[in-house]
């Protein structure tokens, strides 16, 4: 009798452990996938408006930053990321894999005026555009995020115009 009860208790705890581990490991990918779908068409840049209380894309957004996002899917090729860097304010481009890991970041001080990246996977056969820096993504899906600080409201129009030069474009793999 005791043995049977112990068996069911252990079995229940084993089910709990499996469910716990599975949901824990899957949580970041699940949330990232949901966010990517909310951002819009993949392999295209989406320049978001000012962050307000109505902004519901990503938790804890900064109202002082302008965000431009590019959800990507490298299964068909590589992503060419270009753009100018605004002067006199904080700016960064960061790249996240489908498990939410931030595997690349460059800010305005490091970028020196412009950014030109080719985000790709080890298996993609794509001709690298001249001058572009190759960045290997650990996963085929992910997200490029540009942050631009509006450090002075009177400079908003100028800062916004420069950040909107950011672009993402799929370069199809020669094999696809």
Q: Which residues bind other proteins (CB under 8 A)?
A: 8, 11-25, 27-28, 31-32, 35, 51-53, 55-56, 58-64, 90, 92, 94, 96, 99-103, 105, 107, 109, 138, 143, 145, 149, 151-152
Between 25 and 161, name the residue whose CB sits nearer to other proteins: 25
Least CB distance to other proteins at residue 55 (A): 7
Under DSSP, the state recorded for 138 is S
Q: Which two tokens stand for residue 87?
A: 């002067």
Between 98 and 124, name the residue whose CB sits nearer to other proteins: 98
Strand order through the sheet with 46-47? 46-47, 65-73, 141-149, 91-97, 102-107
Least CB distance to other proteins at residue 158 (A): 16
Task: Tell me the three state secondary structure of residue 57.
Answer: coil
Least CB distance to other proteins at residue 65 (A): 9
Between 109 and 127, name the residue whose CB sits nearer to other proteins: 109
Between 67 and 173, name the residue whose CB sits nearer to other proteins: 67
**Counting runs of H as helices and runs of E as strands, what totals does the chain give?**
3, 9
Between 126 and 143, name the residue whose CB sits nearer to other proteins: 143
Between 59 and 130, name the residue whose CB sits nearer to other proteins: 59
Least CB distance to other proteins at residue 165 (A): 21
Residue 59: φ, ψ to 5°:
-65, 150
Least CB distance to other proteins at residue 87 (A): 15
Least CB distance to other proteins at residue 131 (A): 24
Q: Which two tokens stand for residue 167?
A: 């672009």
CB 173 within 8 A of CB 126: yes
Strands (E) across the chain are located at 46-47, 65-73, 77-84, 91-97, 102-107, 114-120, 133-136, 141-149, 167-172
């Amino acid at each position: 009798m005791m043995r049977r009860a112990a068996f069911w208790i252990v079995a229940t705890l084993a089910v709990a452990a499996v469910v716990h581990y599975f949901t824990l490991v899957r949580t970041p990918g699940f949330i990232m996938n949901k966010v990517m779908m909310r951002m819009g068409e993949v392999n295209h840049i989406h320049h978001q408006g000012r962050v307000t209380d109505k902004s519901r894309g990503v938790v804890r957004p900064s109202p002082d930053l302008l965000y431009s996002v590019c959800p990507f899917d490298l299964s068909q090729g590589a992503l060419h990321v270009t753009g100018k860097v605004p002067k006199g304010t904080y700016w960064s481009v960061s790249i996240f894999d489908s498990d939410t890991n931030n595997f690349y970041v460059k800010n305005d001080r490091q970028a020196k005026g412009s950014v030109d990246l080719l985000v790709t996977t080890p298996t993609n056969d794509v001709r690298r555009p001249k001058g572009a820096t190759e960045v290997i993504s650990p996963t085929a899906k992910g997200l490029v995020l540009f942050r631009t600080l509006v450090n002075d409201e009177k400079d908003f129009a100028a800062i916004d115009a420069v950040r909107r030069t950011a672009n993402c474009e799929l370069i199809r793999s020669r094999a696809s």
